[in-house]
Amino acid sequence: MSGEVIRCKAAVAREAGKPLVIEEVEVAPPQKMEVRLKILFTSLCHTDVYFWEAKGQNPLFPRILGHEAGGIVESVGEGVTELKPGDKVLPIFTGECGECRHCNSEDSNMCDLLRINTDRGVMINDGKSRFSKDGQPIYHFLGTSTFSEYTVVHSGCVAKINPDAPLDKVCVLSCGISTGMGATLNVAKPKKGMSVAIFGLGAVGLAAAEGARIAGASRIIGIDLNPSRANEAKKFGVTEFVNPKDHDKPIHEVIAEMTDGGVDRSVECTGNVKAMISAFECVHDGWGVAVLVGVPNKDDEFKTLPINFLNERTLKGTFFGNYKPRTDIPGVVEKYMNKELEVEKFITHTVGFSEINKAFDYMLKGESLRCIIRMDA
C-alpha cells in the first residue's frame, strides 16, 4: 500500500468525554520525513483521558488519541533512511531530530523541532492532517494518534527496537514507565543503599519506584492518599507506605523523622504543587536531591524558603525521564529483554480494540495501571 491511501478502523473522539467511536477512516501516505505505521498494540495513559475530557486546554475534535503503542513500519516518506518497512518500532509523543542544540546536548532531550506539542493536531511538514473521513480532516494527537490501525508519525518520533521484543509488553515503555523510571535512574541517580521517597503511586510513580529498586535503594518510601495502593506498591520495591491523611503534621516532617533528617532522593509524580514542595523539603540537607515529574496547573507557584537551597538541597525537573526517544528508548527495551526491568506487573488489563472504551472505564475507576488494547480484536 506504499504511496496509497489506506482505509482502516480508528477510535475517534468526536466530543469531550463521550465514548470513542470505531469508524473507518482514510490514512494518507507519509510525506517527507514521515513514516506510516501499522499499530499492533496500544495502551491508555492518563494524558489521553485528560485531553479526551478536554480539561484545562483548548479542545480539539474530532481527534484520534493514543500515544503509548508498538507496531511495525508500513511505508516511509521521502528522506527517511533509518527506518524501513517491517521494522519493529515504538512511536513516541516527543521526538529527536538529531540536529538541534538539544539533540546535540548530552544533557537534554527537549528537541527544538519535535518536542511535545499538545495543541498541534496536524503534521509539521505541511500543516495538514493525514487522517480524514468523507473528505473532512480528523486531527492528530501528540504526533502519534495510536488509536488507529494505521497512523502517520514524524520519523524523529519513532524508536526502532529489538525485532524480538514482544510489542504487547514493551509498548508501555513509550511513555509513562520510561518517564518514571528515567526520573529516578537518569535524574535523581540514587546510589546503592540510599533512601528514596516516591510521591504518588500511579503508574509513573510505581515506575519511579522500579527505578529505585533497579538502582539498589535500601529504603523506598511510597507516599499516596489512597491506602489501597500500599500492597500493590510492594511489587515495585516500595518498602514503606505513608498516607499523609494518617498524620497531623506536614508530610515532609514525617519523612524527616523516619529517615534521620530526610531521604537521600525524592521523586514527585502527582503534579500537585503541595506535594512538589513536600518532595523538596523532605530531602536531607547537604546532598538531598528532589526531582519533579508531575505536571502542575500552569498558574501554580512553587514556594519554599531560600535557606533550603543554601543548605545544599537540590531541586530538578525532568521531561520523559531525560530519555532521548530514538537514541535511548531501544536501550530501555533491552533492559526488559535482559530481565532487569519487569514490565508485566504494570499491565493490569487487556481489551480488544472494539472494547477500547472499557480501558477508559478501568482508568476512571482507578482499577488499572496500564490496559493493553489489542488492535486485532
Assigned C-alpha cell, 289: 536531591
Among candidate residues 36, 63, 115, 349, the one labeled active-site is: 115
Among candidate residues 8, 157, 171, 175, the one labeled active-site is: 175
**45 labelled catalytic:** yes
Cβ atoms of 262 and 256 closer than 8 Å: yes
**371 labelled catalytic:** no
Among candidate residues 8, 36, 47, 270, the one labeled active-site is: 47
**103 labelled catalytic:** yes
Work out the number of other CB atoms within 10 angstroms of the CB of residue 311: 12
Among candidate residues 34, 36, 42, 45, the one labeled active-site is: 45
**68 labelled catalytic:** yes
Among candidate residues 67, 229, 284, 349, the one labeled active-site is: 67
CA distance 376 to 88: 17
CA distance 61 to 52: 9
**Omega of the bond prior to 62 within 30 degrees of 0, cis?**
yes
Dihedral angle sign, alpha carbons of residues 69, 72, 75, 79: positive
**284 labelled catalytic:** no
3-state secondary structure of 189: coil
3-state secondary structure of 242: strand
Among candidate residues 74, 96, 111, 184, the one labeled active-site is: 111
Among candidate residues 34, 36, 68, 313, the one labeled active-site is: 68
Among candidate residues 130, 313, 326, 370, the one labeled active-site is: 370
**157 labelled catalytic:** no
**67 labelled catalytic:** yes
- Please name every residue paired with 151 in a beta bridge, in sequence order, or none if there are none: 37
Write 54-62 long-range contacts (CB < 8 A, 24+). Answer: 54/16, 54/17, 56/297, 56/298, 57/118, 57/119, 58/119, 59/16, 60/119, 60/121, 60/139, 61/13, 61/14, 61/15, 61/16, 61/139, 62/12, 62/13, 62/14, 62/138, 62/139
CA distances in angstroms from 65 to 14, 201, 225, listed in the order given: 11, 24, 29
Q: Which helix (H) or strand (E) holds 55?
A: none
Task: Name the residues annotated as catalytic.
Answer: 45-47, 67-68, 97, 100, 103, 111, 115, 175, 370
